[in-house]
Structure 1
């Protein structure tokens, strides 16, 4: 009984299945007949449209031939001149295209910078039984447009300028804010590979899976999409192309170089982020052909303007100092800096390699001679020069009849070290209480004196002052200028013929010290050189080896940055009060002081260099490279060995 029931149930299910199959076949036949009818209708519409287009062209041509050669100014009834453009709108595939006055864009940002091409797919496009989700209108390009390879030198103007493929120079409404900006000033974003590929997985026309091919060159990505069903294709570049060079690659190299960043450290950051980057050889090629020539030209232009200004002044006060780059036991490079002390700006930098002058000891005098020769060639009249106490510098300036002053800090540093050493000796502990006063006294001596003998007289008066004697035998400075006060604690005063006073007298009356005190600079000092040398460390660290030209360009960058930010004002609060911060200098042994807070630095030199690189150097690098070739570059240190 159960088997009969199961058999009956199976027969019923089988009959239902056959009936369902019959219905599916009938429905499929209806779909095929409907598809054939639509194809015939589409072909008929295409044929009619072609006939109408040809007849319209013939009528327009005959009308133009019948128009008179002259036209009345007051009559505006002449037919307008029109152009027919073939479209696919009659197939109801593409939606109407809308352009705004401010920006040209489609529904999504994926159409930006994409070159497209479509094949004659209308006659062979299958009609599906299910409705198709249509995408936004895609403009139809000329079918004969040549497909371009970004790795060849035939990049299109549309792709290189980052414009949409339908951009028409005659249509001002299609200009966008992004397209009108220079290439290096367009904003950039970090985009993941999967997010990019989502834009090309599906055909925007038939909504089917496409064949996608990618090519990478450094930070540049090129995507080619081809639909095997409707033959739709497009070519998208992630960056504008400058000739055959991706703009992002050279922009990254320039940004790394002019910012003083190490390429090796940047490469580690990119690898940690899985960001694609080019190799170091590419960075050096960009630096050699575009970046370094631009830096040299920028510095020479800025230097010529400063020298022209100095040549118009009667007397110029300059300062000079050398920074030795010695990552090992001996110095390889010596960069001598000449600075205008009135305006606190770097006027000249001379880079000297040790094998040029026979040793690192002679690099400073060679740098000074080159700088003075440059100032003399531009007609700059020197009033005096402020330097340290280098013996070769003293002799050269004395023989050249150039007035020389010494920086007070260099003299005070030597005296303070000697006094600190003497304070540790037996019975010399009282000197520790006078170290700060002696340090202040030497600065007061330099600032309040006008002649060398006056400086010496004020300087030696400290020997009487520490004994509580304020009347001096020297007529130039006969007594102390401070008000006389009665001392209650006499233990702090020194006594003659004691070890402490003897050590102090020996330091203060040293012949070389007295000679140097007579030449102390009254107003301008070289403390700004120390600030500039700390700036150089940001662009050329001592633990990194650079070639001669690379070192020179980084010195130029440091000078450009320093000159731009040397005169920054003090920052203020919202109420207008000046800002200060607590500073603990290393030389004050735990003492603190209030240091003014400066405003944030600016980097206009970076923008100027970027404009120069992209607008001029990249377009025609020959004259800029020629300027670099005029710089004498010495051979490497290892060249003198077999």
Structure 2
């Protein structure tokens, strides 16, 4: 008689429920290899199935053969002379399907083969060598990634070129595209081997083009300009009209866009990053002047200066208006809230009595004179007038975080491998660019408090997004296993059409 001892404290009810559910599902033998479920099987448990002959139930000889992640078992009975052969996974053109799929999964997920190999080795899971992984990646995975990105990019460019002209009352009204672009170096140091230039369509927050430039092609100082030039040439060839482009303040980019007669705006984050550190250094210098009173007050205004940069760009429509609002800061720090410039005659905040009057600067003081000198430099005023009023590079920064998942800077890859990882990052970002935000029970966006380490004492509330999706991985896996693996010739031809420069070591 069996008595109930209660639930097993080590068991998980969710696991039991899933086991009962899966036991009722029909066999997936008819599914393709990439869609079939896989299990972790121990060799000792597997051999229990082959210890005795299936016909006479006597002990028989068993031989195992391993090829990568595949294990083949041959059973021969010496009594009834029956034999059978069993494989742990299907063979596709004499190649283990699991090896190809595992190589593709590692590559498409942005994982590291060396880390995965350590995990397999720690668990004594059988694995194929790194050379096999590279061969499968070169023959099947990278052609599929290039094909998938080209196909996705062609759809985006076609949509952008079609919305270039919008019907309005029988006429065709031109509709231009706002772009954003910036560079990323793919190795630490001042002389990177590769530089990628990403172009984004800002109104839809999607990556439309990624260009990879090798330093041996044009030289390190001109790599960013070359990447932008290639992107703009591609967009022009597809008939996309550019309204303006938001970039950083690289001098070669400025000269190139002036020559091409393309309106340029500066990203506020890059501008704020260049202004605020100087103010910080200025405050540190003033702090050392212990005999000078009032100079330490500048440090208290650094958060306000940072916010004022963003507000000036977001609330202004023209360059002169931005300058008027920017220079009004020098009156504001002196507790003067009316200004002589007619474009911004008065501060928009409510003027009231200040509890702490010690924070205000005095005209003619050393602190105010130094602050005025730096915030009204000719170069600063010129850049303030060109701040972007509509879109910023925060989306580009988010994309660069995605790139780090697929192509970290400590990963050394050849040109094609780096390019494919950039394409994967673009596919992942575009699929999740406008991802849903987690709602509360009332339907409002769920917020999460963040306290950046770089800004001590400051915290911000940002929307909490839902988990990312990976539909592009399933599509690529189906493409690799069902088409590229069967007939890779046409997909490899797309690789041959790429302008891949020779490696620097070849010189």
Cross-structure match for 1:350: 211
- Listed as ranges, the gaps of 5+ residues in structure 2 are 1-24, 164-174
> What is the rounded CA distance, in whole Å, between the counterparts of 1:543 and 1:592 in structure 2?
31
CA 536–357 in structure 1, closer or farther in 2 if over 3 Å, else same: same
Structure 1 position 574, deviation (Å):
4.9
1:379 aligns with 2:232: no
Q: Please list, as runs of the form range in 1=range in 2, the aligned pairs for 1:347-496 lying within 5 A after superposition.
A: 347-358=208-219, 360-424=220-284, 425=286, 426=289, 427=292, 428-496=295-363
Cross-structure match for 1:288: 138
Secondary structure at the counterpart of residue 461 of structure 1: helix
Q: Displaced runs of 4+ in structure 1, greater than 6 A?
A: none
Structure 1 position 575, deviation (Å):
5.6
Cross-structure match for 1:278: 128
Structure 1 position 482, deviation (Å):
2.5
Q: Please list, as runs of the form range in 1=range in 2, the aligned pairs for 1:102-121 lying within 5 A after superposition.
A: none
- Listed as ranges, the gaps of 5+ residues in structure 1 are 1-174
Structure 1 position 176, deviation (Å):
5.8
> What is the rounded CA distance, in whole Å, between the counterparts of 2:135 and 2:351 in structure 1?
72
1:330 aligns with 2:191: yes
**Residue 213 of structure 1 is aligned with which of 41, 63, 84?**
63
Higher relative contact order (CA 8 A, sep 6+): 2
Structure 1 position 488, deviation (Å):
5.0
Structure 1 position 620, deviation (Å):
0.9
1:507 aligns with 2:374: yes
Structure 1 position 420, deviation (Å):
0.8
Cross-structure match for 1:539: 406
Structure 1 position 329, deviation (Å):
5.3
**Residue 93 of structure 2 is aligned with which of 222, 243, 252?**
243
Cross-structure match for 2:435: 568
Structure 1 position 458, deviation (Å):
1.1
Q: Please list, as runs of the form range in 1=range in 2, the aligned pairs for 1:184-333 lying within 5 A after superposition.
A: 184-313=34-163, 314-328=175-189, 330-333=191-194
Mean CA deviation greater in 483-492 or 292-301: 483-492
> What is the rounded CA distance, in whole Å, between the counterparts of 1:507 and 1:312 in structure 2?
46
Structure 1 position 226, deviation (Å):
1.2
> What is the rounded CA distance, in whole Å, between the counterparts of 1:584 and 1:468 in structure 2?
30
TM-score w.r.t. structure 1 length? 0.71
Cross-structure match for 1:74: none
CA 233–574 in structure 1, closer or farther in 2 if over 3 Å, else same: farther
1:620 aligns with 2:480: no
Structure 1 position 637, deviation (Å):
2.0
Deviation string 1:415-435 (CA, Å, 9 cap, x unpaired) is 111111111213421112211
What is the count of residue pairs matched by the alignment? 465
TM-score w.r.t. structure 2 length? 0.89
Q: Please list, as runs of the form range in 1=range in 2, the aligned pairs for 1:22-171 lying within 5 A after superposition.
A: none
> What is the rounded CA distance, in whole Å, between the counterparts of 1:573 and 1:481 in structure 2?
34
Structure 1 position 228, deviation (Å):
1.2
> What is the rounded CA distance, in whole Å, between the counterparts of 1:529 and 1:373 in structure 2?
20
Deviation string 1:275-315 (CA, Å, 9 cap, x unpaired) is 11111111111111110000000000000011011112211
Cross-structure match for 1:76: none
Secondary structure at the counterpart of residue 501 of structure 1: helix
> What is the rounded CA distance, in whole Å, between the counterparts of 2:300 and 2:392 in structure 1?
27
The structure whose Rg is larger is 1
> What is the rounded CA distance, in whole Å, between the counterparts of 2:222 and 2:398 in structure 1?
24
Secondary structure at the counterpart of residue 350 of structure 2: coil
Structure 1 position 577, deviation (Å):
4.9
Structure 1 position 439, deviation (Å):
1.5
